[in-house]
Amino acid sequence: MTPRRVCAAVALMAVVVHLGALANGYALDDIPIIVRNSIIQDPAGFWRAFVLPYWPSFGGNALRPLAVASYWADARIDGAPWLHGINLLWHAGATVAVTVLARRWAGSLDAALAAGLLFAVHPVHVEAIANIVGRAELMATLFACLAVYAALVRQSAGWSAAALVGGLLCKETAAVVPGLVVWAWVIGIRRPSRRTATAFVATWVVVGIGYALMRWAVLHPYGRFISIAPVFQGENAITIRLTAVAALADVLRLLVFPLHLRADYSPMERTAVHSPLDPRFVLGLACLALWAWLVVLAWRRRRPAELLGLGWIAIAFLPVANVLFPVGILVAERTLYLPSVGLVIAAGTALCRLPRRRWGPILGVLVLAGAVRSAVRVPVWRSDERLALSILEDAPDSYMGPVQAADHVERRGELRKALSYLHSAISLFQGDPRPFYAAADLAHSLGQPALADSMFRRAEALCERCTSYYE
């Protein structure tokens, strides 16, 4: 096969496997970000996307204007099917970019084909592809790959910086691009001259300062907003890091054996780890040790493609790992979209070192299994109702399942059933004020003032002056 045919094949695979997404509607974060977002409805919303926070209801600390602007543009053309179709094209584009990078670094068209096919069908990508607002992950990853390509292959600081800016305007995780490029230089891939390296560093500094100023200008009114995963509420820094390390077991499982997928990893499905002797921490530490051993092995055997891929996994995952700082989630499958680029490059290259008669069948089995699992998973994101039911089934100990179910049935006018779901959520986890505020609102609507006051007081005890939750 020629390089163009390989790119066409992996792009086609990326689209065909996820075609079921065209039947999906709006689910989960699609509702506030697209359906109820005044920016999307405003004829001048394209420009407003660049001066308002990502979350329209309470601001928060996220700024993703290019992603929001793309939703606005698509909404001018059609509804959910069109938006999902554009997601498929972004995924196909990212898949082609990964394929090109693999070919450059592995020096083999077979390795490029293997990496592209594995990326196209990886089941952990479904959340980013089948949920419309997952597009931020797809766009940021494509721009990150282009930025790395421009830096390492073209050695163009200008084009790399332009792609980096595009990625940052889609999602903050694109900030890892300088780390990915420097890692490649460290292991000897297209190491530049001192003058060229200085030019890259200078562009990164300029882009970083500009991006920081833009974030400050838009988000400084919401400076007191803190985004932290519910599992970390009230926990100290050590507990947060112990829990983050324990979560690496989930990360490894999702990257290597993504059979069981779920849309939520909230308490009590996942709880805090308070001791280094906790078996969950030990297991997570073992996963980290396995990664370190593979890095050392690739270094000793002088396998730059595998080494780059392994480093890419860690660098790309670091911003959402809760190690440097806590973030709003403990584990989310969509956040593994960018780290998985490193996985498929390393795995595809290593696989093609086997004799052809062996790697071909192995690749075929992996691609078939991934394609089937992904295709089966896609309809879970068809609607809020389907998603709520999946959380209740896949993560029965998570309090967010009943919360999602409550929101859905409330919109259907079933207030008593919604309140029942919220009672179930509160019985599972009492560390999040949102179910209490929602229950207080429902109780008030149902003519139960005593219950409403009780729920409101319990919410206020968790979150003083949380006006974003209760109005």
Summarised one tens digit per residue, pLDDT across range 279-292 is: 999 999 999 999 99
pLDDT for 471: 37
The encoded tokens of residue 206 equal 């300029």
**What is the share, in percent, of the chain residues with pLDDT greater than 90?**
83
What tokens appear for 101 in the block? 């990078």
Question: Mean pLDDT across the stretch 110-126?
Answer: 97
Task: Report d(CA 213, CA 211) in Å as an integer.
Answer: 5
> How much is the pLDDT for 312?
98
Mean pLDDT of 290-318: 96
Helix intervals (H) in 257-394: 279-300, 304-317, 339-351, 356-377, 384-394
Nearest of 197, 192, 226, 90 to residue 146 by alpha carbon? 90
Q: How many whole angstroms separate alpha carbon 40 and alpha carbon 21?
A: 21
- Asked if 359 and 114 count as a contact pair (C-beta separation under 8 A), the reply is yes
Q: Give the model's pLDDT for residue 9.
A: 97
**Low-confidence winner among 158-162, 333-337, 387-391 (lowest mean pLDDT):** 387-391
Query: Which token pair is 191?
Result: 């190491």
Q: Given a cut of 90, is residue 460 above it in pLDDT?
A: no
Nearest CA-CA partner of 251 in 359, 323, 304: 323
Write the pLDDT tens digit of every residue in 403-456. Answer: 989 988 998 899 999 999 999 999 999 988 889 999 999 999 999 999 999 999
**What is the spatial distance between Cα 270 and Cα 249, in angstroms, rounded to a whole number?**
12
Q: How confident is the model at residue 464 (pLDDT cuts 50, 70, 90)?
A: low
The pLDDT value recorded for residue 224 is 63
Tens-digit pLDDT profile for residues 66-100 = 999 999 999 999 999 999 999 999 999 999 999 99
Is the previous residue joined to 214 through a cis bond, with omega within 30 degrees of 0?
no
Per-residue pLDDT tens for 29-56?
999 999 999 999 999 899 999 999 998 7
Buried b (16+ CB within 10 A) or exposed e, 132-149: bbbbbbbbbbbbbbbbbb
Confidence of residue 203 (pLDDT cuts 50, 70, 90): very high
Nearest to 30 by CA among 100, 107, 87, 94: 87
- Residue 467 pLDDT grade (very low, low, confident, very high; cuts 50, 70, 90): very low
* Strand positions, DSSP E, 166-296: none
Check residue 226 and give its pLDDT: 67
First CA to last CA across the chain, in angstroms?
Answer: 61
User: What average pLDDT does the chain have?
Assistant: 93
In the chain, the percentage of residues whose pLDDT exceeds 70 is 97
Identify the band that residue 228 occupies on the pLDDT scale cut at 50, 70 and 90: confident
Instruction: Using CA atoms of 139, 11, 367, 305 in order, give the dihedral in degrees to the nearest 10.
Output: -70
Q: Residue 223 has what pLDDT?
A: 64
